[in-house]
Amino acid sequence: MKKYSFLVKTAIFTLLLGLGAGGLFFAQTFNLLNDDKVQEKSGEISSSSNVTFWSDIPSDELSRLITDQMTNSELLSQTFMFGWAGAEPPLLLHWWVERGLGSIKVFGWNTDDIHTVAKSVATMQHKSAEGRFQIPLFVATDQEGGWVRHVKGDTTIAPGNMAIGASGYPIDSWYSAYYICREIKILGINMNFAPTVDLFTNHDSTIIGTRAFGDDPDKAGILGSAFLSGSQAAGVIPTVKHFPGHGDTSLDSHGKLPVINVDFETLKKRELVPYMYLFKEGCPALMSGHLSFPLIEKSGAPASLSKYFLTEILRNQMGYEGLIITDDMAMVGATSYAGSLSAAFKMALEAGNDIILSSSTPLLNEQLWVKNLDLMDRDDAFRNRVKDAARRVIKAKLDYFKSENPAPLYPNPETIDEYVPDREGEKFFLEQACRSITIEKKGTMPLTSANGGRILLCGSLPNFFSEAKKRWPEAGFFRFDYDLGPNGTQWVLDNLPPLAAGYDTLIICVSSENHAKVAEYFKRSGKRIIILNTMSPTLGERLDWADTVLLGYSWRCDYSLTAMVGALAGEFEAIGEKPYIGR
């Protein structure tokens, strides 16, 4: 870490103090970052060794050499992964990287301009390279396919996992991961929090839903393994989630700790099965979920904070050897049990996690840092656990960054438009979407202008109207909001029926409960109702009174909408199968 003379630090402190309260905060932060006493307390820095991350030494040995020479501050920093708000990383995150931060996370609120994302990644990697060991950052994101797409801009909205499950081909999963990861790799993102292998056990779940491949554990394992392989072929580290399984609850651990009352035998035969498939393929990283299984972990602790789940079951019984990364520690599912963020960080490390994720960048003197750094000084067992976690992280980085196909450390924003969106991927995703379309109920198919009479198109997304107009050019249209709230729903029910009176057939896109309410208004209207179910397939099951119901499984995906319209028009035979047992 860069040192500053007493006179220089005093001058800067005095200058910042003159700026008032804001300046005082920055002065305190600056002083903490460069305090010689903090450095001394965290361990002596060896001046005799010149070993760096890029030294020509086998990774297992080099990771041990580096961690043996690290201060407590450097060891603890390697286990943290922080995100940030805003388009570009703040100065605070720069300071964390100077401290030795191990990883950063690109969240969906700062990615509309992917050129800025690439620039930010390069800036952070340059900053990290200035450290005494020159250790690169893991740069992660959530780019699952389907509706979880944190890197936005011109990146592809792929059909997603349940669409892959409906087609049933492992090669679809492989190429989905391959093309998704090729796009984020060019931005310098080297780790993807995917695949999701949670099962579609609870059909009312709004947090998993179409993120699941289906409800069959073996099928999820096979498709998840293919996704893992495709990610690695593209040069991005896959991270399977959410261990031990988020599919049997309708609750979202962002807002509450889900409690899943299943015994270990049920978990072993169901949720844990996909993980065993991926472990056999050498899964490099796994995300632990904030999920409580009180019949298994008697304390009620979430799996992410449970040594029994992560060390005894995952490491010892299942033989997992890769990295363990927490889900976002800012989620209520973690902090509600631990009592505070600093306690949650401590418990997560003690449980066996190697990387602790926070969606925001904490202040440099937050308790999650101060308390845990102090504990390392006082508790050898805790220090050894942190050191082991840091060694695992550095070993994984050595294996990845010294491989033949890593993401660029310093991505070039000028070249991004050549690769994003991925032109090969665009062709594949349309084909894959066509293979996924499922006929829930076959009525008037193919639909033509002759047998459909006067057709009214009811939906939200521009692609639906443009594609439908190509097939039924005389059709009328009624547009409503995609994110339709109660007031918007009532507005639709006030204005759509008078317009619909002049039409014989209504094609209605349904992706939410309120969309389904609009469709249900016409249940006994005498109109021919055709449902294009574009999200949770359980909505389509409820609308089986309609003339025709097609399932597309994908959120805002142009490829899936194009495929559903094409199937309805008879341009190809829809052969997708629901990847779960319906109600």
Burial (0-12, 13-18, 19+ Cβ within 10 Å), 154 = middle
Does the annotation mark 254 as catalytic? yes
The token pair at 14 is: 């005095």
Neighbours of 315 (CB within 10 A): 15
Separation of alpha carbons 503 and 267, rounded Å: 51
Of 142, 215, 327, 558, which residue is the catalytic one? 327
Distance CA 134, CA 117 (A): 22
Dist. CA 310–CA 534, nearest whole Å: 37
Write down the residue that tokens 């870490």 correspond to.
1
166 Cβ neighbours under 8 A, 6+ residues apart: 435, 436, 437, 438, 551, 553, 576, 577, 578, 579
CA dihedral (539, 541, 543, 547) positive or negative? positive
Other CB atoms closer than 10 Å to residue 131's CB: what's the count?
20
- Whole-number Cα distances in Å, 295 to 218, 299, 351, 540, 565: 24, 9, 18, 34, 47
Neighbours of 583 (CB within 10 A): 7
380 given a catalytic annotation: no
Nearest to 136 by CA among 231, 54, 61, 194: 54
> What own/partner pairs with CB < 8 Å and gap ≥ 24 does 448-453 have?
448/569, 448/570, 449/474, 452/504, 452/505, 452/528, 453/503, 453/504, 453/505, 453/528
| Identified catalytic residue from 115, 154, 252, 254 | 254
CA distance 103 to 128: 10
Separation between Cα atoms, residue 7 and residue 500, nearest integer Å: 78
> What gap in Å lies between CA 249 and CA 270, rounded to an integer?
14
d(CA 222, CA 107): 28
Q: Is 545 helix (H, G, I), strand (E, B) or coil?
A: coil
Q: How many CA atoms lie within 13 A of 171 on its CB side?
A: 4
Specify the residue for token string 């389907």: 146
Contact 291/364 with Cβ under 8 angstroms? no
Catalytic positions are 254, 327
